[in-house]
Amino acid sequence: MSESAPAWVVPAALTPGASIRVVAPSGPFDARLVWRGLGWLRQRYEVRFDRGMFETRGYLAGDDPRREGELAAALLEPGVSAVICARGGYGASRFAHRLDWTTLRTSPRWLVGFSDVTALHVEAAAVRVSSWHAPNVTALGQGNAEAREAFVDALEHPRRVRSFAGLDPMFAGRAVGPLFGGNLTLLHACAAAGRLRVPPGAVLFLEDVTEQPYRLDRMLTTLLVGGHLEAVSGVVLGEFTDCRPGRDGVTVEAVLRELLAGLGKPVASGLPCGHGLTNVPLLFGARATLTVEPNRVALGFEPPSTRID
């Protein structure tokens, strides 16, 4: 590598029987869905969790010390191969900056989740540890066989080369760089909190849910104005679920197209990731290749260490 940044650490693949810990760093959840998800995970792994995870404190899964302590312990607990989030919502931003993330590099393990969990992926990426942007336990509890299979495949075969064809072209070009991103609202909040460090050359993935187009405009505009997207090599757009136009009729696609045009980088949309029915696991930190050409629009990624080892 020509950069001075450290190489990405890729935690070890899970095997059946591996120990995983489920945590709830964000919002409270439908306990039935989480129990179902836990039950399914238990068929394959040794699943650990604290009963406190089921606490509800307004829109939080227990108070800050509980959620922070739970995650801090999970990041250091011997023998744990993956830390899987019960649900998103809101709450990880309240303490993510206080955790010592360097231990994730020295004692690597998978951080798994999406939506509000973006705040944690941002911290993992800052110390260059790969993490899985993938369904939370509530989503696994919904019993979609395909989603569960993809989840196990991700955790047990992180070094598999993966690709998604048939995306929709927005701006042509080819980009290669570390896969990174997540929920736009959370990335924006991380920027305001001074925590967002987009890896140089990143292929940036974005998704969101229930945000009106003008709000997406504001968030993407401020990321652009703040220079957070200057080092991005390309953008791949996932689901923008229930981001319906207001009375003005402006669509999400129109907003994203207008604002991303200024980047001058390849952009594709239609990646089945985010808050939609399908949420294909994405390996953050992977070496991603985004191709937006007349005859081919695709995203491929492989673990970074297949090149840097």
Q: By CB under 8 A, which span of 13-21, 140-148, 242-250, 297-305 interacts with its own copies? A: 242-250
What is the nearest approach in angstroms of its own copies to the Cβ of residue 233?
A: 21
What is the nearest approach in angstroms of its own copies to the Cβ of residue 8?
A: 25
Other beta carbons less than 10 A from residue 197's beta carbon: 17
The residue from 26, 93, 115, 233 that is catalytic is: 115
Decide if 303 contacts 283 (C-beta within 8 A): yes
Residue from 17, 194, 264, 294 in contact with its own copies (CB under 8 A): 194
Q: By CB under 8 A, which span of 105-113, 187-195, 284-292, 299-307 interacts with its own copies? A: 187-195
What is the nearest approach in angstroms of its own copies to the Cβ of residue 182?
A: 15
Three-state DSSP string of 111-156: EEECHHHHHHHHHHHHCCECEEECCCHHHHCCCCHHHHHHHHHHHH
Answer yes or no whether residue 208 interacts with its own copies by CB under 8 A: no
Q: Find, among 136, 32, 11, 119, the residue nearest to 68 by Cα.
A: 119
Q: Which residues pair with 176 in a beta bridge?
A: 289
Examine the residue annotation and report whether 133 is marked as an active-site residue of this protein. no
Rounded Cα distance, 91 and 84, in Å = 15
Answer yes or no whether residue 217 interacts with its own copies by CB under 8 A: yes
Answer yes or no whether residue 117 interacts with its own copies by CB under 8 A: no
Look at the alpha carbons of 164, 104, 125, 35 in this order and tell me if their dihedral is positive or negative.
positive
Quote the tokens at residue 228.
Answer: 């957070």
The residue from 68, 123, 207, 239 that is catalytic is: 207
Rounded Cα distance, 287 and 163, in Å = 12
Q: By CB under 8 A, which span of 103-111, 148-156, 215-223, 235-243 interacts with its own copies? A: 215-223
Q: By CB under 8 A, which span of 38-46, 74-82, 246-254, 286-294 interacts with its own copies? A: 246-254
Crossing angle of the two packed helices 118-126 and 184-192, in degrees rounded to 10: 60
Answer yes or no whether residue 195 interacts with its own copies by CB under 8 A: yes
Q: Which residues pair with 282 in a beta bridge?
A: 133
What is the nearest approach in angstroms of its own copies to the Cβ of residue 37?
A: 22
Examine the residue annotation and report whether 207 is marked as an active-site residue of this protein. yes
Decide if 203 contacts 299 (C-beta within 8 A): yes
Answer yes or no whether residue 257 interacts with its own copies by CB under 8 A: no
What is the nearest approach in angstroms of its own copies to the Cβ of residue 202?
A: 17
Residue from 139, 175, 191, 202 in contact with its own copies (CB under 8 A): 191
Answer yes or no whether residue 261 interacts with its own copies by CB under 8 A: no
Rounded Cα distance, 197 and 228, in Å = 8
- Active site amino acids: 115, 207, 275
Query: Which spans of this chain sit near its own copies (rule: CB under 8 A)?
Result: 28, 56, 58-59, 89-90, 93-94, 97, 188-195, 213-215, 217-219, 221-223, 225-228, 246, 248-250, 254
